[in-house]
Amino acid sequence: MIRIAHYKIRVPDRKNRPVRPYSIALLADLHNEVYGSDPEHLVRAVEMAGPLAIFSVGDLVLAKFGRCGYGTALGTLRALARISPVYAINGNHETRMRTGARYAEAFRAYDEAVRAAGVIMMNNCRRELHFEGMTVSLSGLEPDYEFYKSFGPRLDAGIIREKLGDPGTGYNILLAHHPKYFPAYARWGADLTLSGHLHGGIVRLPGIGGIIGPGPDLLPVYDRGRFREGAASMIVSAGLGTHTIKLRLFNPAELVILDFE
């Protein structure tokens, strides 16, 4: 019941290519429940893929309309951290928890437990990682909550630079929950951006793609899959769960596996 989507990533810099192929798993938008399946199935699928690391681009929890749920998210992260190192950022639901008074206590408990499990939080910071001889500069972006609003301000490369500084050396991977700012991510200097948020468009139709995002955004451009902006690429996960609209039509829960070579 979980779609496994593989994407081959070929690093353009010959001097920085891995000496042997490796994989990284990408999670997005669990919202505290795997749609049409269960967390154990997800954990087994990740384990079978044998990733050297697991990246999460946020919204593993559910925080909306006064409801807050993170038990499944926490249990899943604990299980995944026993497989491979997990690097994660906050999505809009985690940011809502962190900044909203009604969720503040729950967020503190969740955040402390996640870190205690060994999950490496990457909100507005960068780390240099090494996979099979390849240098990766991994950055994680957590913008202010206003940038998730349908009629809020636009995120640009200057704001990203204020949060993260300049891109690092090596192959630059950016974890950024909302894909609609892909042009800004590319201008900032991300070689590969990893996103989610739009749930694959919730309902997908042949020849059209995703119909609606959680904004709601009609016919979202970056609904699911691989996109390019000059030399930069972005991969958008269709996500694993739902929240307000308990529906995914022609759009199963998705685990993304990035195959580097």
The pLDDT > 90 percentage for the chain reads 90
Q: What is the mean pLDDT of residues 2-29?
A: 97
Domain, as residue range, for 45: 2-260
In this model, does residue 19 exceed pLDDT 80? Answer: yes
| Burial class, 146, CB count within 10 angstroms (exposed 0-12 / middle 13-18 / buried 19+) | exposed
Q: Kindly indicate the confidence band of residue 150, based on its pLDDT and cuts at 50, 70 and 90.
A: confident
In this model, does residue 7 exceed pLDDT 90? Answer: yes
For residue 1, the model assigns a pLDDT of 82
State the CB neighbour count (10 A cutoff) for residue 204: 18
In this model, does residue 216 exceed pLDDT 80? Answer: no
For residue 108, the model assigns a pLDDT of 96
Q: What is the mean pLDDT of residues 236-259?
A: 94
With CA atoms as reference, report the closest residue to 187 among 161, 226, 225.
161
For residue 217, the model assigns a pLDDT of 80
| Strand-pair category, 53-56 with 22-27 | parallel
Q: Over 176-233, what HEC string results?
A: ECCHHHHHHHHHHCCCEEEECCCHHHCEEECCCEECECCCCCECCCCCCEEEEECCEE
Q: What is the mean pLDDT of residues 133-154?
A: 94
Q: What's the CATH code of the domain at 9?
A: 3.60.21.10
47-66 per-position pLDDT tens digit: 999 999 999 999 999 998 88
As a whole number, the mean pLDDT across the chain is 95
Q: Kindly indicate the confidence band of residue 246, based on its pLDDT and cuts at 50, 70 and 90.
A: confident
Q: What is the mean pLDDT of residues 20-38?
A: 96
With CA atoms as reference, report the closest residue to 127 among 118, 136, 119.
136
In this model, does residue 45 exceed pLDDT 90? Answer: yes
For residue 202, the model assigns a pLDDT of 93
Report field, pTM of the whole predicted structure over 0.85: yes
Q: How many domains does the chain have?
A: 1
Q: Kindly indicate the confidence band of residue 214, based on its pLDDT and cuts at 50, 70 and 90.
A: confident
Q: Kindly indicate the confidence band of residue 243, based on its pLDDT and cuts at 50, 70 and 90.
A: confident
232 and 20 Cβ atoms separated by less than 8 Å: no
DSSP, collapsed to helix, strand or coil, labels residue 108 as helix
Q: Kindly indicate the confidence band of residue 244, based on its pLDDT and cuts at 50, 70 and 90.
A: confident
79-91 per-position pLDDT tens digit: 999 999 999 999 9
In this model, does residue 215 exceed pLDDT 80? Answer: no
